Structures are given as C-alpha cells and as structure tokens.
Amino acid sequence: MTPVPQLRIPTARLKAKFDRILPHLDERRRRFYLASEAVALGHGGIAAVAAASGTSTATIARGIAELDAHPATTCRNRALGAGRKPLTTTDTGLRPALEALIEPRTRGDPVSPLRWTTLSLRTLASTLTAQGHPVGATTVGRLLHAMGYSLQGTAKTTEGARHPDRDATATAFLDSHQPVISVDTKAKEWIGNRDRPGRTWRPGKGPIKVDCHTFVTDEMPVAIPYGIYDLATNTGWVNVGTDHDTAEFAVESIRRWWRRRGRTDHPNATRLLITADAGGSNDARRWTWKKYLHAFAQESGLEITVCHFPPGTSKWNKIEHRMFCHITANWRGQPLTSYQVVVETIAATTTANGLSIGAELDTGSYPLGTTVTPAEFQALPIAPEAFHGDWNYTLAPAPPSPAEAPTTRRPIDPALTTMLIDPALTGMPRADFAHLAAVSEPYWDALAEAAFQRRFHRPRSYLHPQTSSLDHFHRLLTALLRRRKAATSTLLAQLLGVTRTNLSNQFQDGHRILDLYRIAVTPIPGAPARTLEQLRARLASAEDDPTDQD
C-alpha cells in the first residue's frame, strides 16, 4: 500500500478565510462548510480545519457524516407554509373570472389543451381588477400558461373547395406529352454590396461586411430574373434581364428557354401550355403580351394556350414553390455583388428531387411605352376559352388576319343638328355653344386618361382611338340636353343613330366639361320629351321666346 504523503496545511491562510466567512453563517451551515473544507483537504484535513476555526473535531466529523447522508436541500429560510399565499388561494374567484373573460374570445377547439387569446395581459389585468380581483399583468401571464394558453400567430391552412377540373388542362397536355411551363418574374434584385436576409456558415466572428445604408438610385444596376419552370422534366430556366420587366422581355425569356432547352426536351411538341399570374409583364390584359406571344408562336410553330391564375392566387403558381423558393434559399446571407454572382448562384441551385436550373444574362433593351393599336390586336388569332376567356385563351401560329376597313361614321342630318341646338332646348345661344364645343374638345381625351388611371392606377399604354360613333360636338350636345331634361336618352339615341348604352357612356365626361367651364344649366319644366313630336311641340311653344342669338 502506497503511503499517503503528508500535506502541508496552510493554517494561517485557512484561519483568515474562516474569520471572514463563518460569522455570516448559522450553526448548521458552519458545520457543513467546515466539513466540506476538511474533506477537500484530505488526510489530516479535520485536524487542520479544527485548529484554524476553533471548532472541535467531533463537530466537523458530524458534519461530514451529515453530508454523506445527502440531506434534502432547501432554498427557503422559512418553514413550510410560511409567507404570503398565492392569489388563487386567497381569491378563489380569480381563475373562474379570468376563464370567463377569455372563453368568448378563445380560438380553435375549446377542449384542446392548446388554447390562446387575443386579449393583452394588461387588458385582462385591468378588467379583473375592475371586477374586484386585483391582479397584475405578470400574474395573469403565469395563470394563462398554467391554463394551457400561449401566444400564437395565424396559420394559413384553410383552403377553398377544390374544383374537380382545376388541373384538367395541364393533365391533358402532360398526358399527350406536350410541354407545360409555369412562368413568373421573381422580385428585382439590386446589384451591390447590400444586406440580404438569412444566414450562412462562416468562420467565427467573420461575417460578410455589407453596406449599412442601401439607398436606391437610377444608376444602380438591377437584376430582373424571369423564370420558366417545366413541370414534366422538373427543370427550370431563368433569364436575368438588366433593363425593364416588360411583356417583350417576358416573351423573349420564354423564347430563350425554348431555344436552349424546350425543343430539346420536347422534340415532338406541337402545343405549349403556359400558366402565369394575372399581373406584371405577363398580365392577361396587356395587348403587348399577346402580340409578342403570337410572334413567338409563329416563329416556333407552336399552338400556345395560356391559363392565367385569378388575382390573389399567385401562390398556386408551381414556379413559386418548386423553383423560386430554392433560389432564394441559395441566396441567403450572400450579397449579390455582380451579375455573374446572380447567374452562377441560380445555375448552382439544385434539390434532392433532381431540380436543375439554367440561367443566362440578358443585356437586351426592352423600352417602356410600347403600344399596340386596336386594329393590330383585333387581327391576332386569339381564341378565348368558354370559361373566363379573358384569363384562358389560345394563340394559333397563323399570320394575323387582314385589318378591316374602319367603319365610317354615319352622317347626322344638319337639319336635326340645327333643331337640337335651338336655344329653347340648350338654354344658350348657338354661337356660345359652338364656341364651348370648340374649346373643350382637347379636354375630352384628358378626362378619359384620368378616368383610366383612377380605375387601373397606371397610365394608358396606348392612345385609344375615338370608338364612339358621335363626334365631340354631338357628345357635348347630348350631355347638355340631358342635363336640361329636354329629351330622354332613348330619344336622343334614336335621333342620332346610336345605342342608348353608347350615349350614356359619354354623359359622365360631358357633365364634367360643363362643370369645368361653369355652365349654369337650368332644367326645363315638365317631363323630358319621349318622342320627336313632343320635342317639336316643345320648340313650337317657345317660338316667341327671344333667346336665339344667331
């Protein structure tokens, strides 16, 4: 047996240590403390601690025995049952009152163990206090947790009814081995040393340093990723533009996909189905989108069917959750400092399901303001579907139909015009009305433009021709006669050879012009004339009225 070496116990240092600590301990804690020090010193520790502290060795040995017996630890100085009682004990009605406040606002299954409330803790505390249960917000929080409540957000899980034919078109294309693609424009990305959301693995305390402020200027380069996702092959293509997100750019992106991958993956394709959102560069209402798409159909020889998702349902678009989400994850925590970084990181995006993406930089120019005339649009070979033809249509790879000759406006009998501008009907001299019609004509298009922007929140991309069969002079005349209650809209439409709907659409702008020039209009007493005979009778009764100032 190896002898235990004799320890040199620093008695003076122990005594100084004990003199500072022992006065603050009670008898039981002094015994435990000295016993633990003796055990830590090892052989001879009991004698050394007894000598330094002035305590008997028997007391220290008893402390060691008590520690070895593992006495129950307690953190309280008071005896059990001492101290202030919980509020739930002193106020037995507190918990039922809190439950009564929460229950009407409880969301979900009332019997579920996980429930939550939209009331704040302070509101609940103040309401309970007003009911005679004084309590603080912190105590209310503890009670809610004990009752099984927690703060939670909403979960987007409730879907509408699934239509049985929702996927019928895409399924029919896929079954016939025809390509089906999902297209959309990903959010624009500004190029530069800018902060990006997400985190990536880096050496300790070595984050990528980016700019503190990310102001956007006109000179700052921007990347516009337009994506095409092929549902049949689980492949994608992204055309990274540098100019504007226009309809021409969208169709050019589809054209590049077809040239690079589409016709290789689908060599026997004769048709193409495109699913897209109802807004943006591939907006279903954009004539330019359909014009350039028809040009691509002629070039490729494909019959192109387009199905737009209804507004507010873009999350159904396959490209959003099968391709764009993975690109975003690949960009996390990494600033897009150049176009090369954008293109290379897109092309490097893959998934465990075998997704592969091609990417290309498109430095072409796609100016804004490209227009399509109504004649050009009407000539396009577009066949709308029976269900929502504005969202679902097919473009044939055929040349546009020849433009029809514009219909000539039917001349209006001058004698009729002379009768209608009679001061007895208009309430103003003929010369004054002719002057009003001449000076107000430039404002008519301005009013139409303002009405378009109020409805669609953007300027018109084309100058709409005058589709009304009436000129400005007669449009303004009918608005004035209608405000004067000289004749009904039906009679005026019959006299001028137009439909009542066509005429009614002109009244609103006509009334605005009258208000703009502050034309005071006094209605003619009596009911408006419903027939030409009644109108002539009204003129005959006013023959003696000297208001004609020709």
CATH of the domain at 198: 3.30.420
Q: Are 295 and 263 in a shared domain? A: yes
Given pLDDT bands bounded at 50, 70 and 90, which one contains residue 544?
Answer: low
**Helix, strand, coil percentages for the chain (3-state, nearest 5):** 45, 10, 45
pLDDT at 463: 45
CB burial class (10 A; 0-12, 13-18, 19+) of residue 248?
buried
Residue 163 domain-assigned (yes or no): no
Band of pLDDT at residue 462, cut at 50, 70 and 90: very low
pLDDT the model gives residue 196? 82
Q: Which residues of 408-446 are buried (b: 16+ CB within 10 A; e: fewer)?
A: eeeebeeeeeebbbbbbbbbbebeebeebbeebeebbee
d(C-alpha 305, C-alpha 361), whole Å: 27
Claim to verify: residue 140 and residue 182 sit in the same structural domain: no
**DSSP label of 490:** H
Residue 181 neighbours by CB under 8 Å, 6+ apart: 228, 229, 230, 231, 254, 257, 262, 272, 273, 274, 275
Q: 494-504 burial, b for 16+ CB within 10 Å, e for fewer? A: bbbebeeeebe
Mean pLDDT along residues 361-370: 92
**474 pLDDT higher than 70:** yes
Instruction: Report yes or no on 407 lying in a domain.
Output: no
- Give yes or no: residues 135 and 188 share one domain: no
Residue 81 confidence (pLDDT) above 90: no
> Of the candidates 222, 238, 257, 262, which has an alpha carbon nearest to the alpha carbon of residue 184?
238
What CA–CA distance (Å, rounded) separates 33 from 49? Answer: 10
Cβ burial, residue 16 (10 Å; 0-12/13-18/19+): exposed
Closest CA to 273 of 224, 229, 226, 322: 229
Where does the pLDDT of residue 548 fall: very low under 50, low under 70, confident under 90, or very high at 90 and above?
very low
Angle at 365 between CA 338 and CA 453, to 5 degrees: 105
Q: Are residues 466 and 528 in the same domain?
A: yes
- As a whole number of angstroms, the distance between CA 22 and CA 522 comes to 107
**Domain assignment present for 78:** no
pLDDT at residue 342 tops 80:
yes
> Looking at the structure, do residues 445 and 383 belong to the same domain, yes or no?
no
Helix residue ranges, H only, 457-498: 472-484, 489-496
325-339 average pLDDT score: 90
**pLDDT higher than threshold 70 for residue 75:** no
* 126 and 203 housed in the same domain: no
Tokens standing for residue 196 = 């990006």
Q: In percent, how much of the chain has pLDDT > 90?
A: 28
Amino acid in the structure at residue 401: S
Mapped to the 3 state alphabet, what secondary structure does 56-79 carry?
Answer: CHHHHHHHHHHHHCCCCCCCCCCC
Is the pLDDT at 177 greater than 50? The verdict is yes
Q: Which residues contact 307 (CB under 8 A, 6 or more apart)?
A: 169, 170, 273, 274, 275, 276, 391, 392
- Whether 75 is covered by a domain: the verdict is no
181 pLDDT tier (thresholds 50, 70, 90): very high
303 near 271, Cβ under 8 Å?
yes
Within-domain flag for 404? no
Percent of the chain predicted with pLDDT > 70? 82
DSSP 380: S
Same domain, 384 and 428: no
Residue 408, pLDDT > 60, answer: no
Residue 395: predicted pLDDT = 93
Q: How far apart are CA 226 and CA 168, in angstroms?
A: 26
Mean confidence (pLDDT) of the chain: 82
Residue 178's domain comprises 168-395
pLDDT band with cut points at 50, 70 and 90 for residue 319? very high
**103 lies in a domain?**
yes
More confident residue, 349 or 471: 349
Number of domains, the chain? 4
**Which segment, 24-28, 189-193, 259-263, 328-332, is predicted with the most confidence on average?**
259-263
pLDDT confidence of residue 102: 77
Look at residue 76 and tell me if it is in a domain.
no
104 shares a domain with 56: no
The pLDDT value given to residue 76: 58
The model carries a pTM of: 0.55
Q: Are 527 and 489 in contact (CB under 8 A)?
A: no
Same domain, 219 and 128: no
pLDDT given at position 3: 42
181 - beta bridge partners? 230, 274
DSSP string for 98-127: HHHHHGGG--S-TTSS-B--SS-HHHHHHH
Q: What is the mean pLDDT of residues 193-213?
A: 81
Q: How many whole angstroms separate alpha carbon 44 and alpha carbon 11?
A: 12
Flag whether pLDDT at 516 surpasses 50.
yes
pLDDT digits (tens, 9 = 90+) for 384-407: 988 888 889 999 998 876 655 545
279 and 311 Cβ atoms separated by less than 8 Å: yes
Sequence-ordered list of residues with C-beta below 8 angstroms from that of 62, at least 6 positions apart, any chain:
31, 35
Same domain, 226 and 109: no
| 213 and 351 assigned to the same domain | yes
Model confidence at 224, pLDDT cuts 50, 70, 90, reads very high
Per-residue pLDDT, 503: 76
Mark which of 366, 395, 424 sits at the end of a domain.
Answer: 395
Nearest partner of 237 among 184, 276, 176, 178, judged by Cα? 184
pLDDT given for residue 217 in this prediction: 72
| Cβ neighbours of 229 (radius 10 Å) | 26
Which of 529, 440, 427 has the alpha carbon at shortest distance from 476?
440
Q: Is residue 35 part of a domain?
A: yes
pLDDT in the model for residue 209: 86
The answer to whether residue 341 scores a pLDDT higher than 90 is yes
For residues 526-546, give the mean pLDDT. 82
pLDDT tops 50 at residue 539: yes
Confidence bin at 2 (pLDDT 50/70/90): very low
- Give yes or no for residue 443 having a pLDDT over 90: no
pLDDT tens for each residue of 86-115: 888 888 899 888 888 876 544 444 443 334
Same domain for 241 and 325, yes or no, is: yes
* Domain's final residue, options 327, 362, 395: 395
